[in-house]
Chain A
Amino acid sequence: MLKIDQNFVVRLIGAIANSPEEERDLFERGILSDSEAFEVGLALNGFELILKGNKDILTYVNGYTLETLSEKFADADFTQHFNVTARLSNDITYGGDPEKHYVEHSTWHLVLEDNKNPNTLVTLTVDSIHNESVRNVSHCEILFYPNLTHLEKQEITTAFAAQAFCYSLRSKEYHHMSHVLSKMTSPLIDEVAVIEQSKESIPIALASLFLAIRRSPAEQPVLPIAIAAVNWNITGDTTAIKIRDHEGQSTLAAFENGHLVSMEGQIDFEGVSPEARAIRLMYLYCHELAHETGQLTGEITQSKPAMSKALMKGVSRR
């Protein structure tokens, strides 16, 4: 049975405020109010937990500090399904100050399952987090969904992930959007449905960009001269890309959930070296190919010196 009592509140907030199981500490520090520290109300499809307390619960180190709490939640007997800081960078004007200040605002989105009450999901949202903000427990929006089926757990976690993704879309900076995607590693999250539920928040600039990319054909890339061959293999959420130069030296890049997780050698992946360019091109190509045809593995070799694809080659002097 779901039991939301003081012990539960202490387990949850202790993990966030870095006071695990130190009940007295949370009250002494003013993180939880001495009287009526919490109340439970009804919410759509579940319950809402309203907390009282005046002291800051978050230690702001950088925008992603809260994502590092996974172990704390595990110690407090929760299974973490989703934990992301969705960032929205903003220029903010303070009260009388005419100058705009660049402030990185973020919202924290967390989905936990209570190991002591299996199939009970807890979602937690804290908004307006930045290095000057004070966030106390009353700023935490905490909802409970007890006795869920697996399908319902998927739906809730997916909808919650979509909320986080919508938030990052507003930043208009794709590295923030990509960051949220990179945290969707739980099998409970249906990434396709997340995108589907987020489409209404896509800025028109991003939509234009994607439409332009989508309209361009997925053509097999021409390898740079320095690369002899590239092969790839997609297995589940993992993609391995191996590039081989003419001396037989190989570089292996591994991606998980669409993000580079390892690369041999000293290649600057964002750089302009032939290897970096080849890996970027191949990554996109092999996934488009997989999407279009279902082909999960393949190889491209340098059969002849690469011709520059720049159509400038077609411009010769008469």
Chain B
Amino acid sequence: MAMLNIDLDFVKRLLYPLLNLTKNNEMGAFDLGPNGDAGILSQHDPFTLTETDFGFKLALKGEEDIFSYGEVYALERLSEGFDSSGFRQHLSVDCVYSYYSQFEDEDGDNESRSNWYLVIEDKAIPNTFLTLTLPDIYDGGIRLASDLEISIYPNLTTTQQEALLTAVAAKAMRCSLKSGEVHHMHHVLKRCTSSLIDKPAMIEQSRSAMTEKLATLFLAFKRSSLSAPILPEAVSSISWLKRDQETVLNIIRPNERDLLITFKHDHIDSASESMSITSQAPLVTIVREAYLYSQELAHETGQLTGELHQKTVPQSLQGTMSLGR
């Protein structure tokens, strides 16, 4: 069994993806800076390792920026780099925590600030997990190796791996809750695809950061009754099948090809024809409604499959009066 060995090579291996390097092309990247000062890593004592209750904390030293800011989700795209560096990525998420106009740049433009959370497993030493956090990332900000918060957890059981991943995912969720913007929270949820993340537990651990406004909204939705949506004229029927994290919707339309949409982890994974899920077109709104209904039904009754049919509802029987001209 391989032993955990945290040395300079290990540290470099960890930094390669951020620097867009590999072992074969590092070419002086870790040398002294242009003025003879410390570079990406200090020449003297580039890292220190401290023992903790759970494993180790790894602190790096360096005085040069460790990555160039491209856009807010740039760090999430480093999966392949970590893979090439000998790590298996379990979670990588950039969480925007700033809300509108909280931070402004020199031109007075709104500035987005985020934290990056990463959980990787060392392929050379299975069951050894690393968590990396890089806080306060923004365009123009300088992030040094010393800003990386790195913890190492050796010899984890599967339950411990799940607990660790879930706790880091919850931390990311709490971070995004601060933004007040649904799409930032949704982004975090979307990144939680690892089977090691227990989503209900993650939400449970995030509740303390949930604002009263979000709680009010959620409670209002929860109090609403579960009723099957009424199909628009353009749709003859919708059937669905839910399996674990995947739900397939089949939409049958008169005189048109069937539309098949697959959701994975509550997000559209594939569709037999292109569509914008944010549109207000009747077809899109019924897809959203049917998906929501299928998931609520599964939650309330355990029913995993079903079908909705077109039926004519007389005006007099509709639950609401029509407004408008």
Contacts and interface: CB of A to CB of B under 8 A. Distances in A.
B320 A204 contact: no
Helix, strand, loop or mixed for chain B's interface? helix
A118 B55 CA distance: 73
Nearest to A197: B320
Interface residues of A, number: 76
Contacts of A143: 323-325
B234 interface: no
A111 to B, nearest CB: 10
A315 B160 contact: yes
Interface in A195-212: 195-197, 199-212
B213 A175 contact: yes
B289 interface: yes
Interface string A109-126: 000000000000001000
A181 B222 CA distance: 14
A27 interface: no
A221 interface: yes
Binding site secondary structure of chain A:
helix
Q: Which of A123, A158, A309 has the most CB of B within 10 A?
A: A309
Given A195-B223, A206-B182, A317-B54, A260 B212 contact: yes
A173 B182 contact: yes
B159 A159 contact: no
Contacts of A314: 159-160, 163
A163 B323 contact: yes
5 smallest beta-carbon distances between A and B, as pairs: A205-B186, A258-B216, A178-B213, A311-B163, A195-B224
20 contacts: A41-B325, A45-B323, A102-B110, A143-B324, A152-B321, A178-B217, A181-B216, A191-B220, A195-B224, A199-B289, A203-B182, A204-B288, A207-B295, A221-B207, A260-B212, A277-B208, A309-B204, A312-B167, A314-B160, A316-B53
Interface of B: 52-55, 100, 110, 153-156, 159-160, 162-164, 166-167, 170, 180-183, 185-186, 189-190, 199-205, 207-225, 227, 229, 266-268, 277-278, 280, 285-286, 288-289, 291-292, 295-296, 299, 319-325
Interface of A: 41, 43-45, 48, 89, 102, 123, 143, 152, 155-156, 158-160, 162-163, 170, 172-175, 177-178, 181-182, 191-193, 195-197, 199-217, 219, 221, 255, 258-260, 269-270, 277, 280-281, 283-284, 287-288, 291, 309-312, 314-318
